[in-house]
Structure 1
Amino acid sequence: MRRSERLTEIVEIIKDGRLHLARDIAEALEVSERTVYRDIATLIASGVPVEGERGVGYLLREPVFLPPLALSMTELEALSLGMSIVQEVADEELRLGARTLHEKIASHAPNRRKSPGSWGFGLYEFKRVRDGLKFMPILRRAIREREVLLVIYHSLSDECSERMIRPLQTDYWGRVWTLSTWCETREDFRAFRIDRILGCKTTGRTFEDEPGKTIEDYLKHVQPTADTH
């Protein structure tokens, strides 16, 4: 069983609101308890509201519910296509989210369409896009939590530098991902190609929105480009 499939199975097991011991989850999935602990940590880091601790058990207390929606077939096709693309071009945590969302939508769709192919779309691996995505979870979390990051960047001009940045937004250009930031090192906006980030770690600092340093300011005054420095 692939890790993404295992993460999905764990969510399915613990979503009933009851405590589940790691050893029971491990037995159900035929893996070690250590593997379950690592997978639980991955789910929590990706924003899944898992509660509990070792020796006590785990549960999913706060599933996200949407109000009843009436979607047309075209809207369902658009949603299915988007989720299928995310499963090809994003990091493992987002691929997990796209997969479980796809399963939930498909279970209520007309004719119960279970697979991406049943919607009439054929998608194949975007290898180039996946290069460098190992830092995407920390980047997405830093954007949500407004965390200052220290990154090591290898520019297109073959120069390496350390930058203290405020991550504002990730952008997908069809072949590469970029990160729009306020760079504290340069005291200006900068966009970095994510596949050229060599190192990334949190600093323990957070930031607040300041006039002239927000994503709205960046988009207003800077023309974004995928072929960044």
Structure 2
Amino acid sequence: MSRADRLFDLHAVLRDGEMHTAADLARRLGVAQRTIYRDMEALAASGVPVVGTRGTGYRLARLIALPPLLLTEAEAEALNLGVLIVAETTDPELHAAATALAEKLDAALPEDAPAPAWLTAHHARASAARGFSHIPVLRSAIRSRQKLRLDLPGETEVVRPLALENWARHWVLTAWSETSGQFTRIRADLIDTATALPELFVDEAGKRLEDAAF
């Protein structure tokens, strides 16, 4: 039996959801236990959700397959925020699951429109979960017209948050920077910390969203 056939058979056996020891699998397939260990590592590396370790046995994790969904931008944002809430839990399993789900959502966001040049200027790609974590603060500050202090890699800016948009898998804040005296666009995943300041702002000519000319 070729290794490819054996891996296929192993996957078929594990699909029953039960725990199978390496010894049982070895007898069933007529190979040594060491071969089963290597095969399990190969299955896991290929993306098969194998759960278990040597000495305890192996099974497949139960996965939930969702049919294709069509979401509005508001629905996608609500889903992202829900993931964020779970990610804030102290339960390590739920936190890890929420972080993994955030990465899957990030990868699933449409890329049919090319990202504008200003968005791809930063070659470093930060964590999607970190980007999601700032969204509640950014949204609240936009609604309440509250200034923000943003700690970015190598710099800190005080801004008037004006709008939050999704571009090519990234959440982007459009703001008037009190620090630089000009409009700026900042990717949420590149923000280290976002702190709402007690100071509010009002519309001023030249500093409003409609005045931004990117």
Shorter-chain TM range is 0.3 to 0.5
How high is the TM-score relative to the length of structure 2?
A: 0.45
Larger Rg belongs to: 2
